[in-house]
Every structure is written in structure tokens, then in C-alpha cells.
Structure 1
Amino acid sequence: MDIQIVETDKQLKDAYHVRMTVFVEEQKVSPDEELDEHDKTAIHLAGYENDQAIAASRLRFVEGYGKLERICILKEHRGKAYGSQLIAEMEKIISSKGYKKAKLNAQTQALPFYERLGYKTVSEEFMDAGIPHVTMIKNI
């Protein structure tokens, strides 16, 4: 997968398309919750396979952490380690900005995935967009 930091309108449109497909269509999250005020200031990433957008995420810097958000892979492309590649790229950006910690709110069904990448749960379960989540952190 070719991971690109979003710099053009087309790349941003591609990233939003993947997010809307995964979160709104597949997981039934409200479009108003999926696209929010943080999109304007976040660093967005888009992942491509054969020039087709198949993955997306966004990264913000909050309270001393690089905060990984909106990590998603189109259903037909899951199981190919693309999620791990996307997170590794986000962690590189976090490190390059001088931050030492990453944080994310993981859907509980994805806990084993994030645990394999070194993330540790630091919160009780909570609901976000009608989906159970926990907060996880990692020193990088």
C-alpha cells in the first residue's frame, strides 16, 4: 500500500470517501459525527492500492500525545497488514514532530489488533458513536 500524507483536494476527498464507506455505511455512524471540526486542522493520511484509495486516518496532537483517529481500511482490503502499515506511518509522523507518546480510542472489537502493536488500555469502556471503545496509549 502506498501511504500518502494528504496535500491535495483529491487526496482529502479520497480519505473522506474511505471513512464514509467504513464508518457511515458499514458501521452506521452518523455522517455528522464522522466528519467533525477537527478535520480542518488534522493531518490526514490516505492509503492507495493501484491508485485506488483503500485506507484512511487522521492524526492530531493533543495534550502531549499524537492522537491516532479515524483509522479505517475498506472491508475487501482487510487482513493484508495495511492497518499496521498505516499506524506505523502515523507513529513516524508523531516521532518526527518530537512527541514520544501515541494515544487512540479503539473500538473494543479491535483491541487484539492494537495490543499486538504495543498499545495498552488505560480507560474503562465507553460508548462513542454507539460503538464500545477504550482509550489506549503507547510510548514510541
Structure 2
Amino acid sequence: MYKIAKSKKELNDCFELRKEVFVDEQNVPQENEFDEYEDEATHIIVYDVNHRPIAAARYRSYQNKAKIERVVVVKDQRMHGIGRKLMQFIEEEAQKDGFKEAILNGQIQAQPFYESLGYHPQGEIFLEEAIEHIEMQKQL
């Protein structure tokens, strides 16, 4: 089930998934994972059939574009199309909010995934939390 996180529990599920993937797996300092945009962002949560949280992301307005951030899928659920469906859900919701373009800072290892969804790299590779990223964009 893909949905906008609205309750405190749903938001907490988003944050716990981000902590599991970014902080625990990728060693991003927890104080850097959570920022001043949490309240303004639209958070998305994905649950499996047993209501276990398995994926999350957020998007927010940035320079009149939907900036997609913090895209996570738990390790045992990767490579099953969940991330693809999550991105499609986000794009649909962003379009409903009036956005015509989406941007994201994708980790280099995920660049082929984002390209397969129609995102195009922009600019140079840069480091964010000691992980190589590249800005990518797509017309919605």
C-alpha cells in the first residue's frame, strides 16, 4: 500500500526506515539525516500486505519543482519493483500538487535506476554525506 503519511505513526514509520537505511546501512550521521524540511515535505510510506513498513520517501517544493528526497526501500525488499512504484506514486502526487518537473540528488549507484524512470543527470558528481551523488531531473 502506497500512501501519503499523515498520522504520527505513519511519519514515524518513514523516519525509522530512513534511520535503518541511511544511518545504519550507509553511516549517515543521524543529526544530518533529519532536517528543517521535515514539516514542509510530503512524506510517502509503503506497507506490505502484513502492514510492515518497507519503503518511504518525501518530496517538497524547491524552485517551483518537486524535489524528491530520502527515497528508501528496506534491504530485503529491493529489486522487486517497489522503488519504481514508489517513484511513480510520488510523481503522480507531485503532479496533483501542480508540479511540472521533478528533481532529485541521486546516489551514483542508483543513477541507472533513476535513468530508467526518465530522469536525466545534470551537472557534475558531488559528495553528500561522503556518498557520490548527481542531480537528476524529469518533466512530469
Q: TM-score, normalised by structure 2?
A: 0.98
Q: Secondary structure at the match of 2:98?
A: coil
| Distance in 2 between residues matched to 1:3 and 1:98, nearest whole Å | 20
Q: Which whole-Å CA distance do the structure 1 matches of 2:97 and 2:2 have between them?
A: 18
- Structure 2 CA distance for aligned equivalents of residues 132 and 87 of structure 1: 21
Question: Which residue in the other structure is 2:74 paired with?
Answer: 74
1:72 alignment partner AA: V
Instruction: For 2:136 and 2:103, locate their aligned partners in 1 and report how far apart those are by CA, in whole Å.
Output: 6
Deviation at 1:84, TM superposition (A): 0.6
**Match status 1:93 vs 2:125:** no
Query: 2 CA distance for matches of 1:96 and 1:59?
Result: 13
Alignment of 1:16-27 (within 5 A): 16-27=15-26
Percentage of pairs with the same residue: 37
Question: In angstroms, what is the RMSD of aligned CA positions?
Answer: 0.6
Deviation string for 1:13-60 (max 9, x for gaps)? 101010000000000001011011111111001100020001010110
SS at match of 1:32: helix
What's the offset of the Cα at 1:99?
Answer: 1.3
How far does residue 98 in structure 1 lie from its aligned partner after superposition? 1.4
- C-alpha distance after superposition, 1:78-103 (max 9, x if no partner): 01100011110110111111111000
Residue equivalent to 1:46: 45
Shift of 1:64: 1.3
Q: Is structure 2 residue 20 aligned with structure 1 residue 28? A: no
2:119 corresponding residue in structure 1: 119
Q: Post-superposition shift, 1:123?
A: 1.5
1:25 and 1:53 map into 2 onto residues whose CA distance is: 16
Gaps of 5+ in 2: none
Cα distance in structure 2, aligned partners of 1:4 and 1:91:
13
**Unaligned runs of at least 5 residues, structure 1:** none
